[in-house]
Structure 1
Amino acid sequence: MDGTSRRTFLRGGVALAVATPLIGACGQSAGQGAGGTLRAALVGSGAAETLNPFAGATTLDFVRALAVHGTLGRVDPTAEDGVRYDVLSAIESAPDNSGYTLRVRPDRRFTDGSKLTARDVLYSLNFITANAQTAYSRYATDLDLAKARIIDDLTLVLPAKRRVSDVRLMLCQPYVLIFKDGTREFTPATPSCGPFRVDTFEAGRGTVLRRNDSYPGTVHLDAIELRSIAAEDARANALRGGQVDYAHDLAPAQARTVQGDGRFDVQQSAPPDVTGLGVLLNMSRPPFHDPRVRLACKLAINRQAILDTALLGRGVLGNDLFAPGYPDSATTVPQREHDPERARLLLREAGATGVTVTLTTAPETPGLVPMCTQIAAQLSEVGLKVTLDERPPGGLYADYAAYGRFQMAATYSTPIPPLHYYETVGAAGNTFALGWSRPDVDQRVAAARELSGPARKQASEAVHRTLWEDNNVLLPVFKPVLNGHVRGLRGVRGGRLPSFAEASLR
């Protein structure tokens, strides 16, 4: 990741988006039958917004990109291959995982009328590798794109550099978007192949999307207004005030209020589609270079109290490990106990009692600041004096290099399979690892990804046990995504990154 890779999750455009009509206004949402316009409020990045899906990383950026551009597929642990395909019909692996054959669907076209081919897929994979932030481009680490072979319009063969067994999961991440061969800029006129096309766009206010009539699937909506509203209370108020039909990522208290109003429903996601709320301890800075201090911090945390207070009980207890709900997720590692007395003893042994540290946070997602506030208080109770440095919305990741230097840094995780998640953001050399450097663990994770079946599960559990014991992560809770919507809305898929391709208003 570089400075834009975790760019603002909450920033700008609140009053303007709510108080004034959107550009290219589509009027009121449809009340009856098929068609109509869905008005959705999501977190954007204000004036910094762009149609380039890799120049920002807010919810609005990705939801818009997924509506406009095709993907190879999406991860679905319930599906036969663990994925459901989009522009592909299959990803076939060689018996020894030495290569992969991608089968392109014959019925996909771009908005300019041209057919989507294997050449477009290969161009897109190379484009992402060259232009996306490091974390997003790591999906191709195990593939030799330079030796890829286009067999025909619908067949692409990708040789493997490393014979891992989970390439399907990597290729079907939401940031592996499909562009037309030769795409270099992103404007409303850029050819695309998703269920919608860009009609109008204005940074900081929103985007109007129109149905893509060349899309092969059934799309019920005529249009979508994606409104950029950074503040969570403003999104909730826009829903209750009738200005939008869908409000993404509500805080628990707001979700409770919305759910108590008979006009609305609240959609709550479940693992693996949950967001981890946590704090990273910078191992390159004292006192967190000392494993006793890190363990003391983990033992000092009262996870149940954080769940009950910061999330009002709506969530899942964390265990200092990322990505629950996947086949590779830890299931045998014991739940960390709350043991403040042992935490005090460890701090005294390390000479860290009374040391002052700074925890940097920002309201990047609902619950993050309240969680950090409680962690600061709980650590202070056992002798580590924590000063809270709360940045404005979007300020946590505004400078990614600076983020890597924070003494303690708030973090939120995205639902990515855990072994892939580790290689993406936790392996040695990644700024987001905040000083974690364990080549032995990196090698064990890499080896586990080459396995399958029970052997893979056993290796994954062993790695997670090491991470649980030694890592620099405080991860007390996982937050479901709480999305409020009018009762007549149906067919929205997903919580964190909702898809409106099958949505309808009645």
Structure 2
Amino acid sequence: MGITRRQLLWAGAGAGAVGALAACSSGGKGGSTDAAPSGTGSQQPRPGGTLKIGALGKASAVTRDPHGTQANESDYLIISLVFDALAAPGVSTNTAPRLAASWKPSDDLRTWRFTLADGATFHDGTPVTAEDVVWSLKRLRNTPSGKSRLPGIQPENITAEDARTVVLVSDYPNAELPLLTRLTTFVLKKDTKDDAIAGAPGTGPFKLDWYRDGNARLVRNDSWYGGKPLLDAVEVRLFESPQAMANALLAGQIDVASNVGAVAARTAEARKDVQIVRRPNDMAMPIVMRTADGPFADARVREALKLAVDRDAMVKQVLSGYGTVGNDILGTGDPALAKDVPQRTRDLAKAKQLLADAGFDTAKTYDLITTEDIAGLAESATLFATQAREAGVKINVVKQDSKIFWDATWLKAPLYTTYWGTNDSVVFFASKTMLSDAGQNESGWNEPAFDETYRKAMGTVDAAERGKLLHQLQEIEFAESGYLLWGMADGIDLAGAAVRDLPRLPGYGRVQLEKTWLAR
């Protein structure tokens, strides 16, 4: 897979409209990201113990490269504990310091300076320098999907001002640039050879002890700049299905089943010795309709399909109630979300009229292509096909192997499912998937008004004015985009009774285990 789509899936989004600029004066110590508590009781956190955590993946798809294709969640978990990104999600602020302690923009919002955390070192004791970060970001930018990972940032515009200051210059004013640094900006030593990446020292809270076919043991980094982690070690175990992982948790073989899904949560509800840790509205599973050409290029046809879906039934049946109804706007956790846009509900009569007005051929059968990459995805396609038939649209669900899907279907097919393991930034989805020149424009959308509004918003310093522009952006998305977002799935972890303070943050935030501990 040339473009590392799933690396974005697990990475998380970025700052909301206010959060990015609010962090400019942050002088906090790196690694200070908040984690919402999990577990019960009033015990004080205590150090020690080994956390055994299960994560989904396939042994045939493992990777060790922090800038490579991370098709397995197990790989992303391991890499995120060993290597640090510049920033991370937070509770008190949408973007919190990590390897970068603070950042500040120029008056024109094009040049941003990032100051590295005091005391940041690699696992071999070598200090982290701005040159290491510059080399790492350029390596990231020069990957096949580099344009999507760091949009608007050319490799030559990533420089070191001094030993602790990294300078990023955007092609255009960008008030939200810090959110990009939450996106797999993992830092390696400068000039690390590709064949040495697997064993390269990181900067994260845990150090690699051993690794075998997607399974790994990580030990505490006592010298981590963010403070000493509580756990002695983390053992990551790869599972190829959510059910197998849930069974291992229920049998006491692991302490945490990560991102295990609604079906497993329902099974565990009666177990008093199992915690169900929910991250509300954590994953988007929209249906994508290609807008550039083909049968869904007419906006009236896309609106008809959006009116044909029974969103409540989708959430109840596909997600077992572990989720919320969506309104065709991506970024549902963003403080800037346009919540006053009227909720789109099912209207079969209007859907049929729109299809007739557009001259849509209801005699044909249209393929909806999906995968079984995550729990509920294929099921959502099947239920939607049944619902669409009531509006006169015949849909045939085609399940594809994951590799074929991402190589041949994604970004190309007229109608397919996709998924994003994050929900917290309207800007993230606009920049990655909806601008006409976006590197991962999933629906082939080209709307000049959307592009213009986005650029204006990104170049606006005043948060209130930027918020108004972001509202306009979402109104355009709601009315015309190729996304049918029927609902948001909760992220669900199952945990043993002894586990405390698992993170509840989205994306990259949920793999930050430095504050997790064991009450035993």
Q: What is the aligned partner in structure 2 of residue 25 from structure 1?
A: none
Contact 2:255 2:496 in 1 (8 A): yes
Name the CA shift for 1:188/1:198 in 2 (closer, same or farther; >3 Å): farther
Matched, 1:362 2:371: yes
Contact 2:275 2:494 in 1 (8 A): yes
Matched, 1:389 2:403: no
Contact 2:8 2:183 in 1 (8 A): no
Q: What is the aligned partner in structure 1 of residue 129 from structure 2?
A: 117
What is the alpha-carbon distance in structure 1 between the residues aligned to residue 370 and residue 8 of structure 2? Answer: 12
- Structure 1: give runs of 5+ residues left out of the alignment: 11-31
**Pairs within 5 Å for 1:107-186:** 107-131=119-143, 133-134=145-146, 136-139=148-151, 141=152, 143=153, 145-171=155-181, 173-185=182-194
Contact 2:62 2:71 in 1 (8 A): no
The structural deviation recorded for 1:313 is: 1.6
Q: What is the aligned partner in structure 1 of residue 207 from structure 2?
A: 197
Q: What is the aligned partner in structure 2 of residue 269 from structure 1?
A: 279
Decide which of 407, 410, 429 is 2:417's aligned counterpart. Answer: 410
> Per-residue CA shift, 1:108-160, capped at 9, x if unaligned?
11112110111112112111101262465234x1x455245533322233334
What is the alpha-carbon distance in structure 2 between the residues aligned to residue 459 and residue 4 of structure 1? Answer: 30
Q: Which amino acid aligns with 2:500?
A: R
> Per-residue CA shift, 1:468-497, capped at 9, x if unaligned?
111111110001101000111112223544
Q: Which amino acid aligns with 2:249?
A: L
Contact 2:56 2:240 in 1 (8 A): yes
Q: What is the aligned partner in structure 1 of residue 51 from structure 2?
A: 38
Q: What is the aligned partner in structure 1 of residue 450 from structure 2?
A: 441
Give the number of aligned pairs.
475
State the Cα RMSD in Å: 2.4
What is the alpha-carbon distance in structure 2 between the residues aligned to residue 244 and residue 156 of structure 1? Answer: 40
Contact 2:88 2:97 in 1 (8 A): yes
Q: Which amino acid aligns with 1:137?
A: R
**Pairs within 5 Å for 1:51-70:** 51-53=64-66, 54-70=68-84
What is the alpha-carbon distance in structure 1 between the residues aligned to residue 271 and residue 247 of structure 2? Answer: 12
Q: Which amino acid aligns with 2:378?
A: V
Contact 1:124 1:181 in 2 (8 A): yes
Q: Which amino acid aligns with 2:303?
A: L
Matched, 1:454 2:468: no
Per the alignment, in what secondary structure is the counterpart of residue 330 of structure 1?
Answer: coil
Is 104-113 or 470-479 further displaced after alignment? 104-113
The structural deviation recorded for 1:214 is: 2.5
- Structure 2: give runs of 5+ residues left out of the alignment: 11-44
Per the alignment, in what secondary structure is the counterpart of residue 70 of structure 1?
Answer: coil
What is the alpha-carbon distance in structure 1 between the residues aligned to residue 406 and residue 294 of structure 2? Answer: 24
Q: What is the aligned partner in structure 2 of residue 296 from structure 1?
A: 304
The structural deviation recorded for 1:202 is: 2.3
The structural deviation recorded for 1:356 is: 0.6
Q: What is the aligned partner in structure 1 of residue 20 from structure 2?
A: none
Q: What is the aligned partner in structure 2 of residue 22 from structure 1?
A: none
Contact 1:364 1:396 in 2 (8 A): no
Contact 1:427 1:437 in 2 (8 A): yes
Q: What is the aligned partner in structure 2 of residue 16 from structure 1?
A: none
Per the alignment, in what secondary structure is the counterpart of residue 494 of structure 2?
Answer: strand
What is the alpha-carbon distance in structure 1 between the residues aligned to residue 385 and residue 91 of structure 2? Answer: 36
Q: What is the aligned partner in structure 2 of residue 6 from structure 1?
A: 6
Contact 1:356 1:385 in 2 (8 A): yes
Per the alignment, in what secondary structure is the counterpart of residue 215 of structure 1?
Answer: coil
Per the alignment, in what secondary structure is the counterpart of residue 6 of structure 1?
Answer: helix
Name the CA shift for 1:201/1:253 in 2 (closer, same or farther; >3 Å): same
Contact 1:135 1:425 in 2 (8 A): no
> Per-residue CA shift, 1:264-294, capped at 9, x if unaligned?
10110125xx111111012345321222211
Contact 2:9 2:421 in 1 (8 A): no
The structural deviation recorded for 1:46 is: 2.2
What is the alpha-carbon distance in structure 2 between the residues aligned to residue 361 and residue 340 of structure 1? Answer: 24
State the identity %: 24
Name the CA shift for 1:129/1:315 in 2 (closer, same or farther; >3 Å): same
Per the alignment, in what secondary structure is the counterpart of residue 6 of structure 2?
Answer: coil
Name the CA shift for 1:61/1:34 in 2 (closer, same or farther; >3 Å): same
Name the CA shift for 1:100/1:291 in 2 (closer, same or farther; >3 Å): closer
Q: What is the aligned partner in structure 2 of residue 227 from structure 1?
A: 237
Q: What is the aligned partner in structure 2 of residue 17 from structure 1?
A: none
TM-score normalised to structure 2 length: 0.85
Q: What is the aligned partner in structure 2 of residue 239 from structure 1?
A: 249
Per the alignment, in what secondary structure is the counterpart of residue 464 of structure 2?
Answer: helix
What is the alpha-carbon distance in structure 1 between the residues aligned to residue 452 and residue 240 of structure 2? Answer: 40
